[in-house]
A and B are shown apart, each in its own frame.
Chain A
Amino acid sequence: MHPIQALRAFFRVLFHGEPQGDAPAAPPPPDSAFKASGEPAIQLLGLFQKEGRLIDFLRENIAGFGDAEVGAAVREIHAGCRKVLDERLTLEPIVEGQEGARIDVPAGFDPSAISVSGNVTGDAPYAGTLRHCGWRVTRIDLPTVPAGADARVAAPAQVEIA
């Protein structure tokens, strides 16, 4: 074919690319893909670090900084960590009610879900004042991880290549 013709044919194909419909089936992802992390606690810590710099903040010696400096930074850290909490967990209060209000603790209550204190005598039921509504995690949704990734990494080192 004449070079010009060939070039034209090439561009014609580019321009009028035949509709391919569904392309031939691509290979599926390997079985190793989309696995949950073997270290979910470290992974969650890593998310708080990535979005809210939580590890850096807790590890930093903040004694030398003024309240204004700490306060300004905490707004940022709060926003980032809150985002992770909202995206990855659903938290619901264990007891519905106003803190400070009178509340009955029924017989057979779950002591891991309700912690009683003060003048505890005999068996439930008890009557008392609600001091904290408690939190229960009803959903935890952590991202899957690449198979080859080191699960003990909470935050990778960062190197800028010149």
Chain B
Amino acid sequence: MSAPGKYVVGIDLGTTNTALSFVDATRVDEVAEAIPVSEFPVPQVVAPGAVEDRPTFPSAVYVAAGSELPPDSLHLPWRAETKTAIGHFAREQGAKVPTRYIHSSKSWLCHGGVSRQEAILPWQSEEADAKRSPAEVATMILAHLREAWNHRFPADHLGDQEITLCVPASFDAEARNLTVEAAQRAGFVHLHLLEEPQAALYSWIQSQGRNWREKLRVGDLVLVIDVGGGTTDFSLIAVTEEDGVLQLRRVAVGEHILLGGDNMDLALAFDVRTRLEQERGTTLDFFQMMALTHHCRAAKEQLLGDDTLQSVPITLLGTGSSVIGGSIRTELPRERLDALLLDGFFPRCKFSDRPARPKRSGFRGGGLPYAADGAVTRHLARFLGLHQDTAAEFLPGRAADAPILPTAILFNGGVFHAESLRQRIFDVVASWCHESGAAPPRVLPSPELDLAVSRGAAYIGVTRRGRGVRIRGGSPRSYYVGFEAPMPAVPGVEPPVKLLCVTPYGMEEGTSRDISGEPIDLCMWTGEPVEFRFFSSTSRRQDQPGAILDLEGEEFVEHSPLETTVGEEQPGQDGEAVEVDLRSTLTDIGVLNLDVVEREGGAVHRLEFNVRHLPEAGGE
């Protein structure tokens, strides 16, 4: 797809904040390999009746009831608006009126346990007019960016520019497709998807200019650990060599872990609140609890930044007009911070440790599937443990009897502003290296913990035009359709489910695979919709298209089923049998398509996600 635009744009559609960075492609200095990346300050409603540019754009939507704000409170410079606010004011107002406030919608986009196209947010709100679907919220946020950009650059509309939109590496095919469709509805035409940890590494490369090749060596394995506001995302990137040129290859991505900085601040605030209640019988009102969470974040940063502090005082002013008389004084002591944060979220652990398994409850659709174990380090141990074989394949020089551990770490996400948290992760990985006789990893300096993703995405947009290094990745998961194995009917026994691999791990963008002939003898009846169960795995890299497996173990995640119909329905008649093959395509954009292809005539029928049926168990 050719993009005529003058600018190359990267967008980080984050769980808590959205950011847009761009490069003026006419000003790129090829010789110096210097690609100047700029940030786009987003105009947004910051107070009733006021729109201002801000460097951060909260991914937050407030849907007004109508009379709670003065008239003309929500207009934008480029159009009249009376109903919804997006950004800073939405977050502030939403905190006061939670039933009309949509936040963290991205976490819902990858939640297989709910219907992501239905207006389910704000979750559990009774306000029907405020409800939006997770996909719709993504469109609203992106459309705001488009309008704001067009307002500032009327001659270079955003829809005409080449856009790289970031998604968590752990997003499955359905979440990726939903993201692309949301972006297309927002008017983005020249679009690519990029995994966020890759974007962070690109940002590091951009910050190094041409020197990056001196900082990485063949055989290096870079761990990108990205802990954002709401999610934790891991990727492993191997440094290999082809024809004497350094190559970067993303060899593994983690599962979707709903665990982030917001959880950590809340944990501290709840701990302080409990102590206030138990020791003094003080109960906090709603505004004080909000203020407490805010203060705990600041106190956390202070304690983490200064080892000599033993405690940080916290004063909550009275919320009535008596400021001092109504104030509550308390503190966040270091031992609680260590117990909750360092030992709760980043405990020292062994390489063989694993996170606690999620408790399965009988209820479905009961909110987001938050991580059952809050320990980022144990999730990391599991991630590295799962991908030992993969790493071995790309790094053949390593000893076979010792675990393969990262040789370099790149941190990303606002949580890692705290040096001691970076240090803890480093210490834990270094201890694993020490046990296996390897050298401790190097730490790649993170240029911008909050903006690296959008900056890296803008950078890659330029290198996509043929300049600079590219990380090769391909599909981070293998995909399978499920079918029931034929067996004699036994009442009460469900026939076992077999899986047919349709997309191998690592399948490159812009390629497709046909699964035809022997292994599957697929036949469909014209006019009847056929539904396939659909699965994926982030850890099975050996399965080739056409391979048939048993549905066993915990390696498979089930997604919404796929559905299609061959031919037209003929009322009153039975359909005819049509022999079909399957084809899987990973598009240039990064969208996975599955098609049913008729053997005779070659007619193609796209398999669509059936959003009305939900899988039995949502993906982690």
Contact = CB atoms under 8 A, between A and B. Distances in A.
Contact of A22 (B177, B187, B317, B323): B187
Given A34-B49, A62-B324, A73-B324, A22 B159 contact: yes
B181 A17 contact: yes
B387 to A, nearest CB: 32
27 contacts: A4-B529, A8-B529, A8-B608, A11-B117, A12-B608, A14-B117, A15-B117, A19-B189, A20-B187, A22-B159, A29-B77, A29-B81, A30-B72, A32-B72, A33-B80, A53-B317, A60-B323, A65-B325, A69-B324, A72-B313, A143-B46, A144-B51, A145-B50, A146-B69, A146-B71, A147-B71, A148-B70
B609 interface: yes
A139 interface: no
A21 B323 contact: no
B50 A143 contact: yes
Contact of B49 (A28, A70, A147): A147
Given A33-B75, A56-B321, A11 B608 contact: yes
A76 interface: yes
Contact of A34 (B77, B150, B315, B324): B77
B329 A17 contact: no
Tell me if B's interface is mostly helix, strand, loop or mixed: loop
B181 A16 contact: yes
B485 interface: no
B270 interface: no
Interface residues of B, number: 49
A17 B203 CA distance: 32
Contact of B72 (A20, A26, A27, A148): A148
Contacts, number: 137
A72 B315 contact: yes
Contacts of A146: 48-49, 69-73
Interface of B: 46-52, 69-73, 75-81, 117, 146, 150, 157, 159, 177, 181, 184-185, 187-189, 286, 313, 315, 317, 321-325, 327, 329, 529, 565, 569, 608-609, 611-612
B272 to A, nearest CB: 15
Nearest to B316: A76
A149 interface: yes
Interface of A: 2, 4-5, 7-8, 11-12, 14-23, 26-30, 32-35, 53, 56-57, 59-60, 62, 65, 69-70, 72-73, 75-77, 143-149, 160
B582 to A, nearest CB: 19
Nearest to B329: A72
A18 B46 CA distance: 32
B298 to A, nearest CB: 9
Contacts of A160: 286
Contacts of A143: 46-47, 49-50, 52
B559 to A, nearest CB: 14
Nearest to A69: B324
Contacts of A17: 181, 184-185
